[in-house]
Amino acid sequence: MRAVSMKSMVVFLALVFSASVFAQGPKKDEQYINKVKSCFINTLNSDYNSIVESSIFITMDLKSRYPSENYDNLIDKLNELAVEGKTPTIRYKAQLASLYFNYQNLFADIKFTDKENPEQYFQQISEKLGQRPVVAVN
């Protein structure tokens, strides 16, 4: 029972942080954004797969709202999860999120509006990648 309570608390805190930062709109407090980024690095280290997957999605939403912020630590964590994530789903989502962070211009038309179905955004990123021609140089 205690594990469920801790899991609920972590999810609640992540949602509160994300809701608070997103409610700020274009005006933001740099120190607060840095705290939010730090919080999500911690949630990406969670023992609960669902928390990690949710955090991956929320970090992409954060990047879409504040594209000029420095996300190097989050990108490093996403790259780590892409290789060492506990499940294939976490590894795959972390790879897609890392690509989103590193090549946001490629995904500029993806708007995070429907928070009830985060899977659609991973699908959109995957489809965008499938549409890009692959060039091989010999």
Burial class (CB in 10 A: 0-12, 13-18, 19+), 28: middle
What is this structure's pTM? 0.75
Taking the C-alpha atoms of 35, 38, 40 and 43 in order, what is their torsion angle to the nearest 10 degrees?
A: -120
- Contact 40/59 with Cβ under 8 angstroms? yes
Could you identify the residue written with the tokens 């954060």?
62
Share in percent of the chain as helix, strand, coil (round to 5): 70, 0, 30
Instruction: Tell the burial category of 19 from Cβ atoms under 10 Å away from its Cβ (0-12, 13-18, 19+).
Output: exposed
Q: What is the pLDDT, as a whole number, of residue 114?
A: 81
Per-residue model confidence (pLDDT) at position 97 = 95
Output the furthest CA–CA distance in the chain (Å, rounded): 58
Reported as a single tens digit per residue, the pLDDT across 54-108 is 999 999 998 988 888 899 999 999 999 999 999 999 999 999 999 999 998 888 8
Tokens representing residue 102 in the block: 């590193």
> Looking at the predicted structure, is the pLDDT value of residue 35 above 70?
yes
